[in-house]
Amino acid sequence: MRRAVPALVLSAESGLPLLGAAWLRACAQLWARASAGVRLQHPLLELALRADILLTASLPAASAHHTWTGALGRALTGLATGDIAPDSARLAAPFWRGALAAILSGSGDLPPLPRAHKIWQAAVERRWAAPPSGGRTSSARAQYREHFALSGEEHEAEPAYPPTMPWYFRHTSRLPTLAHARSLMRVRCCSTPFAACPSNFGAAASGCHRCGDGAEETAEHVLLDCPSLAPLRAEERFLHLFMGPWPQEGRLRAFMHTPHQYTLAKFTHMILHPTPPIQ
């Protein structure tokens, strides 16, 4: 059974930018050093870059992304089309045609690289704000925004930490075990084995296999409603998690943002890793 954490969800949960944004920023810096403005200081770097572009242009589209400029071209092409897709390994952007023409002419300077990381960030923001399209990752983003993403008033920000990073992520070492932190993170990031979880790519059906009452096995159902887990909720160590009162709308969000994060982490761990009964 395969489960994944959508990259945008993990970025939002950690309060840290996607790795791709930092990579594009480094690419832009490398390109600037190798371009015509600093040719005398870095001749070998420029020659290597030009050779890499020629190699990329000579490769079939299915293999072009294995080179440095091919990977960069795929990223830029994906951004230009509004989607970073694995099959966009082609040098279709006008920027790359201009770079290749400059090299083939033997005298032209490499064109300046667009502000790729800025374009990337804008594309990420568009994706994050887009309504669900029916795909699993878009549904996971929508569920995360609805139930788990922190807003400014839901926790107390600390200096030196991103303002949207939740408490357990900032202070994982304070939890009794790392396993508790991982379990809480899986629930919050929509990466659970629950049948109706959008990141669960192995579920054949969405009905709850725990109680069999016909309800979808969502995080809200399992954590708050599933009758098979009523004894666990009633245990004295977890009872204060369910005292409420909760709003009619957004009760899972209210539950997940309880101040008792130690207990919540242990509870989610017990759900995801139940202890087998003693024979």
> pLDDT tens, 203-246?
667 889 888 878 899 999 999 999 999 999 999 999 999 987 88
pLDDT at residue 182, rounded to an integer: 93
Residue 26's alpha-carbon distances to 29, 31, 56, 105, in angstroms, are 5, 9, 19, 27
* Average pLDDT in the chain: 79
**Mean pLDDT throughout 38-62?**
75
Worst-scoring range by mean pLDDT, 24-28, 109-113, 256-260? 109-113
- The alpha carbon dihedral of 114, 118, 124, 127 has a sign of negative
Q: Please, which pLDDT band fits residue 100 given cuts at 50, 70 and 90? A: confident
Residue whose token pair is 């943002």: 257
Give the residue-averaged pLDDT of 64-88: 66
What band does 93 get if pLDDT is binned at 50, 70 and 90? low
Q: What is the pLDDT of residues 10-30, one digit of tens each?
A: 888 888 877 777 787 788 777
| DSSP helix/strand/coil, 200 | strand
User: Would the pTM count as exceeding 0.85?
Assistant: no
Please tell me which residue, 148 or 43, carries the higher pLDDT value.
148
62 Cα distance to chain centroid? 25
Burial class (CB within 10 angstroms; exposed 0-12, middle 13-18, buried 19+) of 222: buried
**The two three-digit tokens of residue 10, written as one number:** 């993990």
Q: In the prediction, which pLDDT does 240 show? A: 93
User: How high is the pLDDT of residue 152?
Assistant: 61
Distance, C-alpha 37 to centroid of its chain: 37
Confidence of residue 87 (pLDDT cuts 50, 70, 90): very low
- How far from 8 is each of 12, 21, 111, 141, 238, CA to CA, in Å? 6, 12, 31, 7, 31
Given this model, what pLDDT does residue 89 score? 39
Greater confidence (77 vs 28) lies with 28
Cis peptide before 245 (omega within 30 of 0): yes
Query: Between these two residues, 190 and 35, which has the higher pLDDT value?
Result: 190
